[in-house]
Structure 1
Amino acid sequence: MSQLITIATCNLNQWALDFEGNRDRILESIKIAKEKGARLRVGPELEITGYGCLDHFLESDVSLHSWEMYAQIIKRKETHGILLDIGMPVLHKNVRYNCRLLSLDGQIMFIRPKMWLANDGNYREMRFFTPWMKTGVVEEFILPPMIQKHTNQKTVPFGDAVISTLDTCIGAETCEELFTPQSPSINMSLDGVEIITNSSGSHHELRKLNERLDLIINSTSRCGGVYLYANQRGCDGDRLYYDGCALIAVNGKVVAQGSQFCLKDVEVVTATVDLEEVRSYRGAIMSRGLQASSSEMRYKRVHVPVELAPTTLRFDPTIAPSPKRKVFYHLPEEEIALGPACWLWDYLRRCNGSGFFLPLSGGIDSCATAVIVHSMCRLVMKEIAEGNEQVIADVQKVTRSSDPQWLPKDAQELANKIFHTCFMGTENSSKETQSRSAELAKKIGSYHVDLKMDSVVSSIVALFEVATGKKPIFKIFGGSQIENLALQNIQARIRMVLSYLFAQLLPWVRGVSNTGGLLVLGSANVDECLRGYLTKYDCSSADLNPIGGISKTDLKRFIAYASLEFDMPILETFLSATPTAELEPITKDYVQSDEIDMGMTYEELSIFGYLRKVEKCGPYSMFLKLLHQWSPKLSAAQVAEKVKRFFFFYAINRHKQTVLTPSYHAEQYSPDDNRFDLRPFLINPRFAWASKKIDLVVAECEGKNAGTLDVMSID
């Protein structure tokens, strides 16, 4: 005998503090779920407020507006007839909790607070919320007066409980709880909970999705049951991009999966599942039966007198359980093409901007940034072709089109309206980089400006000479290192000033009125940011940086992918070019090289970054790890020199990371100190004690008797 139930989860592109917009997207998801015959709908974490409100959660207004929006949702008749699982902050006994509110037919059945909070990496939930630490405890929650008027309820259960209907049992998990060693879903399943919801605010990182889905699949494979995963989608107003991928799993098999990257604000994923399959699966595992019968954890069941799997469905031959399907993952190259592109579009349409401005240098980093914008334009055109009304309205708003019916014919025409590029050359720039930039701009369709700024550079140097009587010259012509660096930095900083000048005035030049200007895009990759290989307040200083969390190695793979996927052979020339800042004169004997200047390769930088941040290595432990990994290719002395060099430049350039352009977060070793990398920016760059210990190991490896360090010494 079958017991079929149609259930729905969703990806919602919520925006922090956009209460009415968030409400409307929730309502739209409920409408779609009901149209698909769903009896249960679950949404993302904190979907009424938007997940990324940060310190706004501490404001009483946010709690007030959350209840106001929630009341407007559940009082509507069109939201009745389906069990709703909606997320918002709730103040209980003057303590703020991150909660799920479960309701049916305008009545609140139960409020379930989050028990385990995300409090590392990008997340600081314990700054805003308190975890519910009372396992299995349920209290009475007094509803706000405005809600009492709508529901005719004074109190509802609040705590660690589950929902019991006439035909099944439902439990709620929230985001981080899935990742904990002993997730609540384990005890729930052992206590007979058959359907578990997980409402998440999980951000995108390259190669991360498989970890999330593996946890869901493994959990339901071991415990049996139905698992609904909902997630936030979009930038939510900050550095993170929440990548959706809502899915439904049954007994370790995925039966429905939403998109990971998409411009749709509302995406509802449904499946029809057979509860008898869950019971049969669990009943066949003897060890599970023994654990379930001996488990002391017993959840309070909040009874809801409704049947979610109507008897009529059991005998309807036209309705069948959703078939199993393979889990879909994007390649890292595809993730780079899609994630930052979606993030940029969200930011552009919501900040009321009119487009982007990018200094296009002819190097691979600015090339990758430009290609990401091209990918964004392609995604927009795809949604236009599919009739996405929200995207169509956004395009017309962003382009400031005087014709309300105007729409671009292709990605190039859209780019010509909203994407502006500029090659800012000097006498140190090569003809190759200039021509590569122009050809790429033509292929993408951007409005391109080509200029030489030598006169501006010369004027500043002349001004300095008049003021001081000294004229700096490049090292290659006999100048000192400090002169050489200063002359490079002049060029870099002038490019930043010119970028903002052009960003503000290019729309005016083109006759576009009523615009606040263009958003300036930076193009410094994560490895350069980590090493500090950039000039403070140069053209790495911008409004947004879509590649600031992506390694040079991954960017090269992305460009190789885009060359074929987007039919852009010009990209091959960027891959074969030597990375160079082109800030020093080119002679027959000398061409500036990034990797030579840095004293390390980009591949090595990625390794240093991963070990420093993800594996929590200081200089000494990093040296020991790399000594094993890089021997015998490198000697102990060479490994030591590389590690010391990295930490020296990392330390002396930490101050630059305090003013990094807000970047798309794509790597765990992002150096963005504001959110992800909480380290001081005044550090002794010599790391004296660690260096001494490294030298001892090097001496031992070289067969020298270097003595020992007194680890108890306080000298």
Structure 2
Amino acid sequence: MGRLMTLATCSLNQWAMDFTGNKDRIIESIKRAKAAGATLRVGPELEITGYGCLDHFLEGDIFLHCWEMLAQIMKDPSCQDIICDVGMPVRHRNVRPKQFLANDGNYREMRYFTPWSKERYTEDYYLEQTAREITGQRVVPFGDAIISTLDTAFAAETCEELFTSNAPHIHQGLNGCEIFTNSSGSHFEIRKIMTRLTLMTEATRLSKGIYLYANQKGCDGDRLYYDGCSMIIVNGKCVAQGSQFGLDDVEVITATVDIEEVRSARFAPSRGLQAQTQEPYPRIEADIALSEPKSGPSPMDLGPSEPVSIKAHSPPEEIALCPALWLWDYLRRVSAAGFFIPLSGGIDSCATSVIVFSMCRLIHSAIHSDDTHPDTREQVIADCRRLCAKDENWLPSSPQEISGCLFHTCFMGTVNSSGETRSRAKRLAKDIGAYHTDLNIDTVVNALTTLFSTVTSFTPRFKVRGGTPAENLALQNIQARLRMVVAYLWAQLLPTVRQRPGGGSLLVLGSANVDEQLRGYLTKYDCSSADINPIGGISKTDLKAFIAYAAKAFDLPVLEEFLSATPTAELEPITETYVQSDEADMGMTYAELSVFGRLRKVSKLGPWGMYQRLLYTWGKPVPQDSDSEKPDAGAGGQPSTSREQQTNAAAHETPESAHLIQGRGLSPREIRDKVLRFFHFFQINRHKATILPPGLHLEEYSPEDNRYDLRPFVYPSIWRSWQARKIDEHVEQLEAKKAS
């Protein structure tokens, strides 16, 4: 056994601008690290401020408060005799330097920070007075350097640097750095976790070394959710992994490592040659040995930590966990009286409701499970009692009891609603314990249509009764928009009706999935207009897989009926020959929409590029041994092998849309029609994306205009565009070639 040391990393649920709370959670993590015998503690990126401060980073106050909080951390008696990597923004030469900047998708770091382009270089940083009074120092080194202790050397990366092609740890390792830290603010997306875990393990698989990864956890005030999953990796093997998701605001993981294992693994002539040709890094000397803790158990008593299997959740489990925890963080921050949703009996509002029930399940489990950390249990109980308006002795006996306090559903029927949807909504609300109301809004709809007819002397009709498309659409939209008005009235007054103390209204939840938003298949300012939308970043395919999973995992057999029902808005009259269908109305399937969305956003393809791509995928014959149109069994959450193997394999699965492009045998003209039809509706409905309620970002092809997908909302007609003519010419050439 060589030289042993215990290292700690953590996941913290930091709130943007919550300086005192963030500071307290940092100090608690340091206490836990020291109690485990750690001599180095790593925290998430920008942990003093929270990552999601956005334009608050432009304010001078934020830097003042950071130094005030850092001073309190440095003075705290429990934070002595340990090296701590604490994240916060600083000003240097009147700019905010950061080496590599995340500046795409959800991130705008170039708006707040300035790239530090001086590699392997340090200069003097003049300390703020609050720090000078504690340390007695006037200046400290600032820049790109390696910190040398008496027994090893370590250096820091931040979140984005792990994802870059020429990551700093490569060159730092060749310069003798043995421990790499990564303070991260990496947001969650469905199926993203294995990408991140692979990058972390590969970071030390080739170059060897010890990698400490810390990540933010929770919703810090924006559309993103950070899923934690901190890790410690030695020579490409994971020796400690924190939880992905969870209700704990502070999670610390530690591992005892043998630094001699790194040195032995690095001994190779070819690597030695590369190390000799590296330009040297500046070194900052720290007169401390990481292998000699002054508190906690001795590493010699613990022994080296053994490798562990990396764990990841399946996509349905991710949907059950991430939006639920996002909702809980959101609710306890704004202190609303709970949630309200118009429960239509369809799968989207059903999925949203089941996610709220999943939140209640997680809260109940945290309160009653023996595995919950005592501090976490105490915090969850306090939050639950406060939000449910209960006394200090109350504990929920079931998830349904929590749901009955916090969750409110309402079926808003019309003459066009079916008994099946009304029944499904009522039974689901009962099974999950929600406070449910059932009503019809026909009188309100009739009042408005009568008003219009009285003023204009024109009576609009549905298309099945001889009306024009404009009349038909207007009569559908008025029903949808009135449901939004009713929803907000109910959300504001139900707490009063139920005599909930403290006042406050309910947060209205939206239930438009990412595919409907992409296609614009929603009424502007209808029930899609809400305070927040938990499923705004989830595809219809993944929602169906989640419902299939939840039917068994949550013991909700009524969910099977939602899966088998035809998706319908129920805004038109039902006749013997006509029942409204979402996919028929849209002119495309939800699975096709997922393909269009991924090719447009992720693959960055316009109409011509998308047509070309699909020509060589959808144009291929359907393989005889393939069933590409059916949902992926794994994504549906069906049990297969062992639990660990199932979840890790499922994390690599792709949604049904990926299987859909493997071959359909479509003609070039059929592909042309589908592509141009998609872009037609995407473009004419683009204005709807500008008013979408804040939705949890979970999918790479989200059309959310206010932050993630910045596009014009006025377009020329796609049918008369140059792109369409180019596609048409190509189709005609292929058809002529085939005919000859």
The verdict on a shared fold, with TM-score over 0.5 as the criterion, is: yes
Aligned to 1:594: 582
TM-score by length of 1: 0.95
1:314 CA drift (Å): 13
Gaps of 5+ in 2: 621-664
Match of 1:627 among 595, 615, 621: 615
Aligned to 1:106: none
Mapped to 2, the partners of 1:663 and 1:311 lie a distance apart of 46
Secondary structure, counterpart of 1:630 in structure 2: coil
Q: Give matches, 1:48-127, under 5 Å.
A: 48-97=48-97, 114-127=98-111
Match of 1:690 among 710, 715, 723: 723
Aligned to 1:307: 289
Mapped to 2, the partners of 1:314 and 1:73 lie a distance apart of 23
Aligned to 2:9: 9
Aligned to 1:363: 346
Mapped to 2, the partners of 1:220 and 1:444 lie a distance apart of 46
Secondary structure, counterpart of 1:228 in structure 2: strand
Secondary structure, counterpart of 1:25 in structure 2: helix
Q: Give matches, 1:38-53, under 5 Å.
A: 38-53=38-53
Match of 1:351 among 334, 337, 350: 334
- Is the CA contact 2:367–2:381 (under 8 Å) kept in the aligned structure 1? yes
1:253 CA drift (Å): 0.2
1:307 CA drift (Å): 1.0
Mapped to 2, the partners of 1:262 and 1:705 lie a distance apart of 58
- Is the CA contact 1:422–1:450 (under 8 Å) kept in the aligned structure 2? yes
- Describe the shift of the 1:563–1:315 C-alpha distance in structure 2 as closer, same or farther (beyond 3 A): closer
Secondary structure, counterpart of 2:90 in structure 1: strand
- Is the CA contact 1:361–1:433 (under 8 Å) kept in the aligned structure 2? yes
Match of 1:378 among 339, 361, 382: 361
Aligned to 2:603: 615
RMSD: 1.4
1:70-99 CA-to-partner distances (Å, cap 9, x unmatched) read 1111111210111000000000010113xx
- Is the CA contact 1:5–1:308 (under 8 Å) kept in the aligned structure 2? yes
**1:222 corresponds to 2:234:** no
Mapped to 1, the partners of 2:672 and 2:243 lie a distance apart of 45
Secondary structure, counterpart of 2:87 in structure 1: strand
Mapped to 2, the partners of 1:216 and 1:258 lie a distance apart of 14
Match of 2:449 among 451, 454, 461: 461
Q: Give matches, 1:605-684, under 5 Å.
A: 605-632=593-620, 633-684=665-716
1:99-133 CA-to-partner distances (Å, cap 9, x unmatched) read xxxxxxxxxxxxxxx31110011111010001211
1:491 CA drift (Å): 0.2
Aligned to 1:537: 525
Secondary structure, counterpart of 1:254 in structure 2: strand
Mapped to 2, the partners of 1:317 and 1:45 lie a distance apart of 31
1:664 CA drift (Å): 0.8
Aligned to 2:319: 336
- Is the CA contact 1:3–1:314 (under 8 Å) kept in the aligned structure 2? no
Secondary structure, counterpart of 1:549 in structure 2: coil
Secondary structure, counterpart of 1:271 in structure 2: strand
- Describe the shift of the 1:148–1:315 C-alpha distance in structure 2 as closer, same or farther (beyond 3 A): closer
1:513 CA drift (Å): 2.6
**1:701 corresponds to 2:739:** no
- Describe the shift of the 1:311–1:6 C-alpha distance in structure 2 as closer, same or farther (beyond 3 A): closer
- Is the CA contact 2:256–2:299 (under 8 Å) kept in the aligned structure 1? no
Mapped to 1, the partners of 2:13 and 2:717 lie a distance apart of 43
The worse-fitting range, judged by mean Cα deviation, of 682-691 and 614-623 is 682-691
1:264-292 CA-to-partner distances (Å, cap 9, x unmatched) read 10000111111010101111x33222211
Amino acid at match of 1:395: C
**1:470 corresponds to 2:458:** yes
Which contiguous aligned blocks of 4+ residues in structure 1 show a shift greater than 4 angstroms? 311-317
Amino acid at match of 1:131: P
1:294 CA drift (Å): 1.8
1:697 CA drift (Å): 1.1
Aligned residues: 687
- Is the CA contact 2:39–2:293 (under 8 Å) kept in the aligned structure 1? no
Amino acid at match of 2:699: E
1:165 CA drift (Å): 0.5
Mapped to 2, the partners of 1:496 and 1:280 lie a distance apart of 66
Amino acid at match of 2:353: A
Secondary structure, counterpart of 1:603 in structure 2: helix
**1:389 corresponds to 2:392:** no
Mapped to 2, the partners of 1:82 and 1:316 lie a distance apart of 15
TM-score by length of 2: 0.92
Mapped to 2, the partners of 1:316 and 1:30 lie a distance apart of 17
Match of 2:394 among 406, 428, 432: 406
Amino acid at match of 2:717: P
Amino acid at match of 1:44: P
Gaps of 5+ in 1: 98-113, 707-715
**1:415 corresponds to 2:397:** no
- Describe the shift of the 1:314–1:221 C-alpha distance in structure 2 as closer, same or farther (beyond 3 A): farther
- Describe the shift of the 1:660–1:203 C-alpha distance in structure 2 as closer, same or farther (beyond 3 A): same
Amino acid at match of 1:189: G
Aligned to 1:100: none
Secondary structure, counterpart of 2:736 in structure 1: coil
- Is the CA contact 1:44–1:200 (under 8 Å) kept in the aligned structure 2? yes
- Is the CA contact 2:416–2:573 (under 8 Å) kept in the aligned structure 1? yes
Amino acid at match of 1:361: S
Secondary structure, counterpart of 1:205 in structure 2: coil
Amino acid at match of 2:287: P
Amino acid at match of 2:685: N
1:316 CA drift (Å): 7.0
Secondary structure, counterpart of 1:268 in structure 2: strand
1:397 CA drift (Å): 1.2
Mapped to 2, the partners of 1:181 and 1:378 lie a distance apart of 41
- Percent identity, aligned pairs only, is 62
Mapped to 2, the partners of 1:344 and 1:685 lie a distance apart of 39
Secondary structure, counterpart of 2:8 in structure 1: strand
Amino acid at match of 2:538: I
